[in-house]
Homo-oligomer: A and B are copies of this chain.
């Protein structure tokens, strides 16, 4: 029973079906009918005009999104535990040609208007210092916590007041929307460009970069090709994304994963290091306790010496969750 990563989960049958249906000759790259329909599909979902590009990975999606906001001599302000800082091998430095990440604090890997402002205000408007051009936030955060629409709006206000763009890393955007119970548009209000993740939520290898500034997407089409991310059989990426949007599959899958996480969390509320709002559970857990859980057949990551990270997926089995909850409660 694996709780190491939502990346280890299966591909949803509807995604498979859509991919197989896409296996007919069409224009290469993103000239096919499916790829060309993405703009309309996301425009309908968000209720405002979008331009949408697919990319195979969240790292590529994040970095291409940021490339629309930040010049090589600029900087992105993000949380010091943000994925772009911690887990992308320096990809922002590569895609942005050496631009910096400036690190802000905040509980549960969420920045606040105050922590952002503290970073921004410390920078003199002076050529000796790297100037921020964008803010990037993660929805849900690296600790599975969700920004409320009012929080996003307040962050957007700080960004706009200083002329900075706002990027949202939505690798788990679906889980955040599922938690909030609001619309996708409300969960991304004030955002300029969103990396909308599907791979962790039942897809195989396709994320959407959603540009609310339609002009910005034009330049990024060149950047995507230049980064080797314009797949020649792009119809298979578009098919995955469209299948996820169909009948709100993305929301259903996220709800299932969130429910599984909630089930685990309920077993040991006193162990929780962060509120469980999406599909990640961080538990205090000794080495002996972790060994006990592993002995019972559960796999997961250690999170430092005294904690464990458990991630649930769209296809979590009710029985597995119950078994895990029971095992945790019994520790």
A residues neighboring B (CB under 8 Å)? 2, 4-5, 7-11, 16, 20, 23-29, 55-61, 63-64, 71-73, 75, 86-91, 93-100, 127-131, 199-200, 204-205, 219, 221-233, 236-237
Contacts and interface: CB of A to CB of B under 8 A. Distances in A.
A16 B20 contact: yes
Given A59-B228, A71-B219, A100 B95 contact: no
A27 B300 CA distance: 11
Contacts of A93: 93, 97-100, 226
A188 to B, nearest CB: 22
B27 A8 contact: yes
B89 A204 contact: no
A130 to B, nearest CB: 4
Contacts of A7: 28-29, 232-233
Contacts of A58: 232
A226 B94 contact: yes
Contact of A28 (B5, B10, B64, B229): B5
Contact of A228 (B26, B63, B86): B63
A243 B250 CA distance: 30
12 contacts: A9-B25, A16-B23, A57-B228, A57-B231, A59-B228, A87-B129, A89-B129, A90-B226, A93-B98, A199-B233, A204-B233, A205-B231
B8 A236 contact: no
Contacts of A91: 225-228
